[in-house]
Amino acid sequence: MHAEFDGKENEELEALNIEVAVAGRMMTRRIMGKASFVTLQDVGGRIQLYVARDDLPEGVYNEQFKKWDLGDILGAKGKLFKTKTGELSIHCTELRLLTKALRPLPDKFHGLQDQEARYRQRYLDLISNDESRNTFKVRSQILSGIRQFMVNRGFMEVETPMMQVIPGGAAARPFITHHNALDLDMYLRIAPELYLKRLVVGGFERVFEINRNFRNEGISVRHNPEFTMMELYMAYADYKDLIELTESLFRTLAQDILGKTEVTYGDVTLDFGKPFEKLTMREAIKKYRPETDMADLDNFDSAKAIAESIGIHVEKSWGLGRIVTEIFEEVAEAHLIQPTFITEYPAEVSPLARRNDVNPEITDRFEFFIGGREIGNGFSELNDAEDQAQRFLDQVAAKDAGDDEAMFYDEDYVTALEHGLPPTAGLGIGIDRMVMLFTNSHTIRDVILFPAMRPVK
């Protein structure tokens, strides 16, 4: 309504004699004797009502309207006009109560300010905070945009199990449940990866899934135990193809949703319009810890000494690759503000990624970072069944040594690889963190409608 009629003068509206019917929540009311102004809000925005006693059926103004409260849901009918201040309004000829609100709006609609209350009572937050409503509209646009982007490139959207006998596809602590009919312990999935790659084995060469993952780990401004991921797998491609696809995805979404390729996040302007920076893990360590002797990263004892000198507790189960990765995360990750790809991840921390042809100690893998946090992870997939089986065994050994985030051995997945997985590249993107960037939100709870919360005692 605003888009169509805001640009017209009152004389034009009077000549058009436009009658409209609207419904929404009463957010403000100014009673001035025999006439009042009301602000009505619905999902599309707000519209002002001009309510005059003599223009309504007898008794409606004094006996009904004056007794209604802010927060009540009303239906109204009348003609469009503009006030002397130029505000598009409806001159009401009919007005009725559709739903009575039994509880008042928070703080007379000025906004629900208590952060915890906003998360626990999201419905009140959405009623009273324009910013929150916009955040979740943008989230919906991002999800729709990703789907359109993927379909346009020949990908098929699929669904894979949320409950799994063996949790796989990531290094994380799972939630455990019990299937009564099967008398079987099962796990909420930590990632859909191994099932999606089974589909590639089966001949679906381009697949993607947008769905929930569950990880039984800490809650922070960056982590929620239930979160949304998009994972894709593309046959006859490698990780370099995914780097190009990732850049294009972010650039396209920014342009389509925000109308520009520059995104404001805090006091920084993120530029999705230019090529993302690319660094190897070791280059990033050197860049942000210049005193590092690169030769020390090739020796277990030297790397361990560096790690301990910067406050990292080295676990007994860690090898050199894990130590180098921990050093990178400690010294470099927070500095990766502009979009940056980090490549050459050690094989030790990449149990599902293909080894590099030149250096088998590293993999053809990248993670990409924006705003000092990881947004996604991609790699050329390991399709050697024997190598995969050995890496699963290494993960089992790590789990036995105390690493409760190490992967399980998935025999059926190894069997699937034995039937032949074509050269394939896979990518996972955290949707919640992407929404944080696009909406300038600095805690993950602000972009999840109903985040995990402790029960109120």
Question: Per the annotation, where are the binding residues for Mg(2+)?
Answer: 367, 374
CA 209, 426, 283, 248 dihedral sign is: negative
Measured torsion, CA atoms of residues 101, 106, 112, 113, in degrees rounded to the nearest 10 = -170
Note whether 408 and 396 are within 8 A (CB): yes
Strand partners, 81: 89
First vs last C-alpha separation in the chain? 45
Note whether 170 and 191 are within 8 A (CB): yes
CA distance 299 to 257: 48
Q: Is residue 370 classed as helix, strand or coil in its secondary structure?
A: strand
Note whether 245 and 292 are within 8 A (CB): no
Helix, strand, coil percentages (3-state) for the chain, rounded to 5, are 35, 30, 35
5: tokens are 């009629």
CA distance 371 to 436: 10
Return the H-helix or E-strand segment holding 320.
helix 320-331
Note whether 249 and 146 are within 8 A (CB): yes
Q: What are the strands of the beta sheet with 340-343, ordered from one edge?
A: 156-157, 206-214, 226-235, 424-430, 373-380, 365-370, 340-343, 277-280
274: tokens are 């230019």
Binding-site positions read 367, 374
Residue 12, C-beta contacts closer than 8 angstroms, at least 6 positions apart: none
Note whether 166 and 266 are within 8 A (CB): no
418: tokens are 């034995």
Q: What are the strands of the beta sheet with 163-164, ordered from one edge?
A: 163-164, 184-188, 176-179
